[in-house]
Structure 1
Amino acid sequence: MLERRGTLRYGAARRLRQFGSRDSILLAPSSSRSMSTSGFFLPALPGERSLSGDSEAPQDFDLEAALRGHSRNPARVFPGEGDRRDGGDGGEKRERSRGRGSLGTPRLSPSSFDAREDFSGLSGRWGQREDGFGSTGASGRPPWVGRKSREGGRLAEMTAALSVATEEEFSGDREQTHGWLTKAETVTQGDEDLVSSETTYIAMLREELWQALSAHVAMWRRDKIEAGLNCLEQIEWFWGVEGMHKVQEVRALVKDNKMDSAGAVISSVTASMSSVTGSMQGRQHCFYVLVAVPPYTFRNSDHRVNLAAELRRIASKEQSQDSSLVYRIVEVDSMRRALLAAIVNPDILAVVVQDNVPVDHSHTSSHALVGFEAFVRGVEMFVDAPVAQMRAGAPVLSTFVRSVSRCRGNVDIFCVCTAMGLASLEPVTHLVKRAFFPNDDHSDLHEAILAGVRSKMRCPFFEALRRYAERPIGVFHALAISRGNSVRRSKWIQGLIDFYGVNLFKAESSATCGGLDSLLDPHGSLLDAQNLAARAYDASYAFFVTNGTSTSNKIVLQAVLRPEDVVLVDRDCHKSHHYGFVLAGSSPCYLDAYPLHRFSMYGGVPLDSIKRTLLAYRAVGRLEEVKLLVLTNCTFDGIVYNVRRVIEECLAIAPHLVFLFDEAWFSYAMFHPILKTRTAMHAANEIRRDLMEGRYHQLFEDLVETLGTDDLRAVDAETLAKTRLVPDPRRMRVRVYATHSIHKSLTALRQGSMILVNDDLFESHVHTAFKEAYYTHMSTSPNYQILATLDVGRSQMELEGYGLVERQIEAAFFIRRLLTRDLLVRKYFTVLSPRDMIPSAMRKHSREFLGEEALQCELTLQTLEQVWLSDDEFVLDPTRITLFTGLSGLDGETFKVKWLMDKYGVQINKTSRNSVLFMTNIGTTRSSCVFLKACIRSCAQELEMHRLLSSTRELEEVNDAVHGLVEECPDLPHFSAFHPVFAKPTRVCEAARENAAAEEPTGAAANAKGGDKKGDGKREASVGGEDALASLVKDGDLRAAFYLAYDENNVRYLSLRSAKEAILKGKQLVATTFVIPYPPGFPVAVPGQVLTVALVDFLLKLDVKEIHGFDDKLGFRLFKPGVLTEKLRERQSAGALRGTSVEQRLPPETETVHVAVRPPTAGTPQLSEEKKDASSNGVVAASADDPDSKISEKSGNSTNATRNSDAASSLSSRRDDQEKRESET
């Protein structure tokens, strides 16, 4: 079977082909450029385009047509692999014929497919990019990879270890004819010893090199064995001398022709790397300690002069007595190599550095991972940048400590330095675990290293629970199931113990003493566990929650908010937030995320929208009422905010603002150096650090100098909205909360959640309220098993989280490669890329830096660091893969249930109308990735067979289904407005109202005349910026609407179609409940919201079976008009809505961002004039003579409350009548 794959890395074409075992067949590219998994621009195959690009749907690729022009020369065979000979007592078998495979049969050379004539024109076309990103120099190589490719000696050797074709088999002028071959994709046909590696993770590359070496030793391929050993010498150095000794041992055995013995050594190494057999040797826990020493003592075996040798001596003596925890030494002789080792070896848990270690030196290059940096994430940020600072004169020791802390925050740092070096550590003393002098006894250093790792291994609550379960306790308390007694005494339910085991029931208790603790008032093991969790997640405080993140969200909202406080919230946030607003009595102002209409999903809330809303509240004098901003980071679909930028710019406008980031799906990010840069806790700590170091003072001074004022409050809203803002350090406070669903992505039982606090005012302003909220929502009988797994899961991530998340990312990359490179799969399914899911305007920095094509395919190793560390508003989580199913004719729910689950046993969670979401986690294996791809390919094969055997009528049905899923996608509705009964009054200047009244009529008159968009534009221009901003002030009393609907006498029901007809006739329909369709799983309507045509159309077209808050038989649950009229009269009597009308409360039509499958130039179909009248912004003004529209009128004295029945009456006359009635009331 043919499989497409890309070459491993640029600069790897020369010696890498000597070590692999696949026959490569070059394919003729026939369309525009794309980007390979390695991050290089390639001639793209047809259909490999983004859905937002020029092609609406991926097309199949004709493999036969690609190879039709190539002639095969069967006489060409592989060169000899080398002779096999007996050696010593190895018992190896005699030689096999040169030029033959393992079975003695000739194999065709890839060069027999001579493609030079077909590809002669590609080199020139490749080198003529105008955007600068893909431009090539004289060597034909893109300059952005030139730096790493120039180090390609070692990298080429590695590629020789994983590719079978030799350099000699590619004849001709490489610069002119085959300059693109180092970047081109290949189709590979595997033989019996198939080896393929496209990993982007150095630790996994190490494993694959050892596995490939085992295969080549078995085949007696000496040249490939030599290349592989050369590569491993570069990599194994970062796993200590033990690995180097294994490489040297294998080299010596191969030299003596003892291949069987060499294979046995290799097998022992690969077994030690296994996630099962290599996890522990016996009961030993092994980790690595990085030791940076001066070059003149490097590798010196005298422990009196070499710190690494001294630690080895102490460790061997101490560990002979207690071998439960052991460590190995990784010795380096420069700061650059030390920084590389910290990010290359995920098992390093401690760093020991001396103060006289140079930044770099000439002898380092032999063991500096030359040519392999392309396999290491974060080299530019955590290695190149600090090394450049050191060379520029920055203090070497403190710069090194700060860089290690940033990339590996869970690593303990120890310094062995003189008094002079100790003085240079002053700025980073808080990051250093302990400092020692060179002449001290280093036994304390050894003990400190072990103590630091043991503190991470500690699971105080789990250990206390285990000890409790082992005690023979008599139970005269609650829980009959405690100790398993009620089950053991049963004659019928013994299967419960057989399934769960007895320890589960032994640990089930309601006791809070005997070593256990109370979750509501922790003082012992639970308090210790929560403190350790706060350390692991870089938070000030951490609180365990056993009711899921739904409860965590409600606790934070109740603690931070007071009744009548305004909350800015993403409308498509989790429903627990909406219910939290009801319980807290706060008033939400819903922010609309940018819509992805073509995929029936939302993205994130643009920062411009957040800023303008804050400025709108400032314009109407209500900024102090806005207390909290709630955002989901990252979203279900993987959209991640630039958290630091959001916090900084919002604090510049509202320094008192509190932030709650719902990171239910993002817990793992805290343990990866790149991903954590966009987490709430990391952003809060970085902002606070810069604030304490005085950096914001200079930034703020530069800002106010640019704006020409000392106070941002004096700057107009439009200027602030378009300016990159910095908060005033004299007024700002860092107040950030995050909620994590630990069970979703880390090791914890279901409902295991955590609240993380990083609030400057928590102790003084929030602590008491937080305790009350915690008592309110937490059970007095929490599940101890959930709490124990929260404790253990934290320990796991502190010890090995970095490596686990690296493998999680690699698994996602692997799935993307498998799916995007299968021609049949790509015909029916498409993997969405950042270009599809993030509007171009919101990723302009990475687009300008990388070029638009770089984001057309999946995020790769080369793009991950640049994109995530840029100032882009949004990035795409690399661990999520959204698969577009529209081309198959299958909706997301059908594909999830009837195909993936019922047929293949593949479990996924989230779907949309035409997509499904696959998520990798720290438990995802490569085997499961291959299984997933095989299942999806089987689906594609079945669909293809169905097409081939279908009749014309059946094909038409399939095409109609595809058309409906791809082209007829319902527009996602935005939040309309709260009904005036529940909306808070907005104070807008009277002069602006008079100008608006002079321009045009409103309400039914405007709709009757039609085409009111032009009028809206004139009114907005005349009223000015203040009135335009006021339209963004749309918070409402959610709680009042929620509880008003509890009385069934206040509600009525309408079907979807009847509701649409009523709205088109001008009636106001107001929701009484949260209406939540699954998918997408968030409220499209909330209590008190005015229903719109767009919202009803969306539900009609969504065609889902599960809609919470909507009864299929009864329909929409709505307020009766008379109820709202009565409530409106009560509020007007109190003067709550003085001078406000229904039409003024409803928002004007706003421009939305559309991201669709169509090319960017294609416009969105416009509504007809009649539909514009009926659904302008989804809100229809009420008719004056309709009984359902009378909610906008006051009912004072009947003789003075005569209604103007003329539908075209002006706003001024309506206001005169209204003011007259108010005065008499």
Structure 2
Amino acid sequence: MTADSSPDAYSVDHFFSAPSARLDRWRDVHAAARAWVNREVERHAVEAALDEVGVIEEYYAFPGPELMAALREQLQDEDPTGFLSLSKRISLAIITGNYKHDPKEWETADDIFAKPADLLPPAIGAQPQTRPYFELLLVTPAPAPRWPHIIAEFRRLRRPEDAFVYEVVPVASLEDAICAIVLNPDIAAVALYEGFALKSRYDAPVLRRVIAAQKAALEKAGEADLALLLADRLKAIRPELDIYLLSDRRVERLAGDPRATIFRRVMYQIEEPLELHLSILEGIEARYETPFFDNLKHYAQRPISTFHALPIARGKSVFRSPWIRDMGQFYGINLFLAESSATTGGLDSLLEPTGNIKRAQEMAARAFGADRVFFVTNGTSTSNKMVLQALVAPGDIVILDRNCHKSHHYGLVLCGAQPLYVEAFPMPEFSMYGAVPLRTIKKALLDLKAEDRLDRVKMVDLTNCTFDGHIYNVRRVMEECLAIKPDLIFLWDEAWFGFARWSPFLRPRTAMGAAADIEAWMRSADALAKYERHRAEIGESPSRETLLDTHLVPDPRAIRLRVYQTNSTHKSMSAIRQGSMVLVKDVDFPTVEAQFHEAIFTHASTSPNQQIIASLDVARRQMELEGYGLVMNAMEVALDIRREVNAHPLIAKYFRIVGADGMIPEEYRTSGFIDFLAPGTRWDDQLRSMREDEFCLDPTRMTLVCGTAGFDGTSFKGLLASEYNIQVNKTSRNSVLLQSNINNTRSDVAQLISILLRICNSIETRLMQGGEGERQAFAARVHSLMKDVPDLPDFSRFHEAFRYDAGATTPEGDIRGAFFAAYAPEDCEYVRLDSPECDKRLREGPEMVSANFVIPYPPGFPIMVPGQVITQAAINFMRQLDVKEIHGYEKAKGLKLLRPDAIMSKNDARATSSARRRSQAA
């Protein structure tokens, strides 16, 4: 078998673009067929093209063996016109998805009723059905000639009352099963009949590469454990799948095996197949159910009179009004029928859910691999504050990325914990920061330990992935930190990364994915042995440098696994704006549950938006049933954009998308990975990078450099929006961030490329017509944006007045005290950036101490926080900024500072109070 033997068969884009690559192969078949019709090629060329697509089609229900056999018959009958017509119809059905609801697409000939009854396609003669469609992977030892009869048998089990329709994809081996669930996102359930083979009958490179990561486990597999091994591998790739085991052994004993919990049901394979059919539909229904959304729809259909404080409910005040009726017409009646202030009558309370919201949250926890999930209707900003308030108290120390979202900084102001800021690696060429190196985090912990203050450290709080796509090696970060302090709490802000749960490549780098891996390792037989070997290697009293340079292994007996993850569900899934979730895997959650609920009461609205709650419920349903394919599509779109921008002869002259080598320093890419589409890069190289490297790059987030086209990020973002109807989110001094998501299509890619080409043509025209003066001005503008970039300022230090209980060498400080000190206007002053006084105080003092947060957009991180001593580097950076939006800075007034005399006074008062308490204690 020679399918997928081309040099690019192993490339990253080839693998992640499986759906479109499949269509491209069908287009190759069309091209060969047209050439055959025109007598430009012989039949063998068409046959070769059909062989190329043939192996892949083994893993999809459509077109299936009937239509593929019909194509081959037309080849043998020398019927080029009929072959071209049928192949075009098949590929069009795949593109449109019509085969999922129109039974006519499965027909192979005009007179289909001449076929044997058990070989008829589904529901012949019926009208197109609109029930959701999925595919069942059937792993069977039955010989291939029997597969059409097996497919027909499952079709005959269908009933009009079935809520869903499925088709069967039969395969004969473990290897084929793995390949099928990787390549076919429509597979939603798997039935394993014991006795299937280990090896595939094919030897296609695409299959060999898909199963390469499973090689070690497969080589150790015994025949008796093959079904359990396959189920484990399938769940590792796609945990949402329902898996059913059918055995002719003593299934009652097999069902009692603790390992068999991986199966949704174990059945005796000789029994009535209708039971399996009903179980499969029940399993899909369990994921399809949306408790809150279903109930809200039911509520909207009831005749209800409202006597509560929400006039808009039921829509009467809108639709009866001649002045605002247009709002009702715009949004539709259901929006208003589903509104209510009530938490009774079938509805539920988000603050203390006991009914359908509670059930919806439990289902979300199952889907996201968490122990608990809490819905939040006012964004991840609130989710982060909830977690911080619930878990840290005044005086606790939180190790925090200085460049994280402002909600974390404000959360510490509210709860009174002290931030110990750690710095991410800088990317000055783009005026942005990356992520925080693990060595930096370990150093902070070891510094605190050296000062006997490790007990004060409560949490490590990091952003994963960052706005610009930097992904931590989450498991390694947590393991090495837990090796230093076994009860650390981790808060991972994954606002932009919630979708990653549904990618087997990205999932291990999520908080919940990594926590599950650590949890499984802790329970494994070799965990303690690995730890003891590690201790023997580093010795009983390892040096500080040894601890910094060594991959630390925690003691599995001592670990208290406490992991929190916040997701902006609305940022990467189909949820309404401000829909967020808090995911919890915390072994000690019962000890903090009461205070967690207090945090919810503090921050959550008592009038949450019902539509946001419903959308969170629906987003979970969608991702459980089709998230794998949607995320694969988002990656495909991103890789298409990367390829087309960087390879286009004109666009690449003015724009480029930065590769992993430009976003992540080499020292953090020990695998040697350069970029997704670098020459010679294969998808297993990316897989190795995901396993090994300290930082990886999210393929769906693309830094598009626009400075080389003479645009700063802000103006280019505005140009795209105002002139071309293209919206982007984040900008830097010389770049904009493009993000693909589950909403994007290849048409979106085409539109973006056409717009970039139009802009490049306009630049070329301007430079050509403007003469030497225009070219010099353009070059100067590019040089200014790309070369004259300001140095990025690191966090300096807290003023000593706000370090009254800090360590001698550790940099934590009382951000809350400094924040509220600025509430007294008489204790504050303003100094303009361009004033002589600013330069004088930098040289001679007294020190300037920030009274508030100063956050320029871009880059969006606080360059000053309350209580921070302002340095020359921070002033230089602000003076070079050319952005319009700087939160916390008034240009007319200048920097808001705490007055030196006020700081001195508060410091003296604190010292007097402390002396008095010591005296009283004595």
TM-score for the superposition, normalised by structure 2: 0.91
1:1072 is aligned to 851
Write the distance in 1 (CA, Å) between the matches of 2:450 and 2:677.
Answer: 39
2:206 is aligned to 372
- Pair 1:918–1:275, CA change in 2 (3 A): farther
Match of 2:527 among 683, 686, 696: 696
- Pair 1:278–1:630, CA change in 2 (3 A): farther
Alignment of 1:49-128 (within 5 A): none
The CA deviation at 1:243 is: 1.8
Match of 2:686 among 836, 852, 864: 864
1:1126 is aligned to 905
- Pair 1:309–1:541, CA change in 2 (3 A): farther
The CA deviation at 1:884 is: 1.4
Partner SS for 2:747? helix
The CA deviation at 1:215 is: 4.7
Write the distance in 2 (CA, Å) between the matches of 1:1045 and 1:241.
Answer: 67
Q: Write the deviation string for residues 1016-1044 of structure 1: whole angstroms up to 9, x where unpaired.
A: xxxxxxxxxxxxxx3xx111111111111
Tell me if structure 1 keeps the 8 A contact 2:63–2:90. no
Structure ID, larger Rg: 1
Partner SS for 2:829? strand
- Pair 1:716–1:920, CA change in 2 (3 A): same
Q: Write the deviation string for residues 783-807 of structure 1: whole angstroms up to 9, x where unpaired.
A: 1111111111111110111111111
Alignment of 1:10-21 (within 5 A): none
The CA deviation at 1:886 is: 2.1
Partner SS for 2:137? strand
The CA deviation at 1:888 is: 1.7
Structure 2 regions of 5+ residues with no counterpart? 103-128
Amino acid at match of 1:649: E
2:184 aligned with 1:345, yes or no? yes
The CA deviation at 1:853 is: 8.1
Among the aligned pairs, what percent are the same residue?
40
2:56 aligned with 1:235, yes or no? yes
Q: Write the deviation string for residues 893-936 of structure 1: whole angstroms up to 9, x where unpaired.
A: 111112x1122111000000011110000111001001101111
Match of 2:727 among 907, 932, 942: 907
Partner SS for 2:741? coil
Write the distance in 1 (CA, Å) between the matches of 2:706 and 2:916.
Answer: 49
Tell me if structure 2 keeps the 8 A contact 1:290–1:329. yes
Tell me if structure 1 keeps the 8 A contact 2:637–2:740. yes
Amino acid at match of 1:522: P
Partner SS for 1:1133? helix
- Pair 1:321–1:1047, CA change in 2 (3 A): same
2:4 aligned with 1:155, yes or no? yes
Write the distance in 2 (CA, Å) between the matches of 1:756 and 1:420.
Answer: 39
Alignment of 1:751-790 (within 5 A): 751-763=578-590, 765-790=591-616
2:812 aligned with 1:1035, yes or no? yes
2:699 is aligned to 878
RMSD of Structure 2 on Structure 1 (CA): 2.5
The CA deviation at 1:555 is: 0.5
Amino acid at match of 2:880: K
Write the distance in 1 (CA, Å) between the matches of 2:619 and 2:662.
Answer: 35
The CA deviation at 1:554 is: 0.5
Higher share in helix: 2
Partner SS for 1:947? helix
The CA deviation at 1:978 is: 0.5
Write the distance in 2 (CA, Å) between the matches of 1:241 and 1:390.
Answer: 32
Amino acid at match of 2:666: S
Amino acid at match of 1:299: A
Write the distance in 1 (CA, Å) between the matches of 2:143 and 2:256.
Answer: 23
Alignment of 1:395-544 (within 5 A): 395-419=225-249, 423=254, 426-544=257-375
Match of 1:603 among 431, 434, 439: 434
Match of 1:637 among 452, 465, 468: 468
1:798 is aligned to 624
Q: Write the deviation string for residues 202-247 of structure 1: whole angstroms up to 9, x where unpaired.
A: 2322222234434544452544432232223211111137522212
Tell me if structure 2 keeps the 8 A contact 1:312–1:329. no
Write the distance in 1 (CA, Å) between the matches of 2:90 and 2:596.
Answer: 52
- Pair 1:420–1:357, CA change in 2 (3 A): farther
Write the distance in 1 (CA, Å) between the matches of 2:615 and 2:90.
Answer: 32
Write the distance in 1 (CA, Å) between the matches of 2:221 and 2:19.
Answer: 28
2:666 aligned with 1:827, yes or no? no
Q: Write the deviation string for residues 29-56 of structure 1: whole angstroms up to 9, x where unpaired.
A: xxxxxxxxxxxxxxxxxxxxxxxxxxxx
Q: What number of residue pairs does the alignment pair up? A: 881
Write the distance in 2 (CA, Å) between the matches of 1:385 and 1:542.
Answer: 35
- Pair 1:790–1:241, CA change in 2 (3 A): closer
Partner SS for 2:284? helix
Partner SS for 1:542? strand
The CA deviation at 1:628 is: 0.5
Higher alpha-carbon deviation: 229-238 or 426-435: 426-435
1:723 is aligned to 550
1:5 is aligned to none
1:548 is aligned to 379
Q: Write the deviation string for residues 270-314 of structure 1: whole angstroms up to 9, x where unpaired.
A: 3432356566442122211112222xx32354xxxx9x956752x
1:272 is aligned to 93
Partner SS for 1:951? helix
Amino acid at match of 2:521: D
1:672 is aligned to 503
Amino acid at match of 1:417: S
2:587 aligned with 1:810, yes or no? no
- Pair 1:243–1:354, CA change in 2 (3 A): closer
Structure 1 regions of 5+ residues with no counterpart? 1-150, 160-181, 185-196, 989-1029, 1139-1221
Partner SS for 2:191? strand
Amino acid at match of 2:818: A
Match of 1:225 among 46, 57, 76: 46
1:561 is aligned to 392
Write the distance in 1 (CA, Å) between the matches of 2:823 and 2:211.
Answer: 59
- Pair 1:894–1:858, CA change in 2 (3 A): farther
The CA deviation at 1:257 is: 5.5
Match of 1:840 among 663, 666, 670: 666
Match of 1:336 among 148, 167, 175: 175
Amino acid at match of 1:798: E
Amino acid at match of 1:298: P
- Pair 1:384–1:344, CA change in 2 (3 A): farther
Partner SS for 2:19? helix
Partner SS for 1:1087? coil
Partner SS for 2:374? strand
- Pair 1:796–1:582, CA change in 2 (3 A): same
Q: Write the deviation string for residues 132-158 of structure 1: whole angstroms up to 9, x where unpaired.
A: xxxxxxxxxxxxxxxxxxx7x2225xx
Tell me if structure 2 keeps the 8 A contact 1:570–1:630. yes
Write the distance in 2 (CA, Å) between the matches of 1:259 and 1:516.
Answer: 62
Write the distance in 2 (CA, Å) between the matches of 1:409 and 1:1050.
Answer: 57
Amino acid at match of 2:572: S
Tell me if structure 2 keeps the 8 A contact 1:545–1:778. yes
Q: Write the deviation string for residues 482-534 of structure 1: whole angstroms up to 9, x where unpaired.
A: 11111111112222122111111111222222322111111111111111110
Tell me if structure 2 keeps the 8 A contact 1:565–1:627. yes
Q: Write the deviation string for residues 103-146 of structure 1: whole angstroms up to 9, x where unpaired.
A: xxxxxxxxxxxxxxxxxxxxxxxxxxxxxxxxxxxxxxxxxxxx
The CA deviation at 1:1137 is: 14
Tell me if structure 2 keeps the 8 A contact 1:349–1:411. yes
- Pair 1:592–1:1109, CA change in 2 (3 A): same
Partner SS for 1:357? coil
Alignment of 1:216-365 (within 5 A): 216-219=32-35, 220=37, 222-240=43-61, 242-256=63-77, 261-274=82-95, 277=98, 280-281=101-102, 282-294=129-141, 297-299=142-144, 301=146, 312-313=152-153, 315-360=154-199, 364-365=200-201
Write the distance in 1 (CA, Å) between the matches of 2:770 and 2:8.
Answer: 41
- Pair 1:358–1:337, CA change in 2 (3 A): same
Amino acid at match of 1:380: A
- Pair 1:1046–1:860, CA change in 2 (3 A): farther
Tell me if structure 1 keeps the 8 A contact 2:467–2:496. yes
2:111 is aligned to none
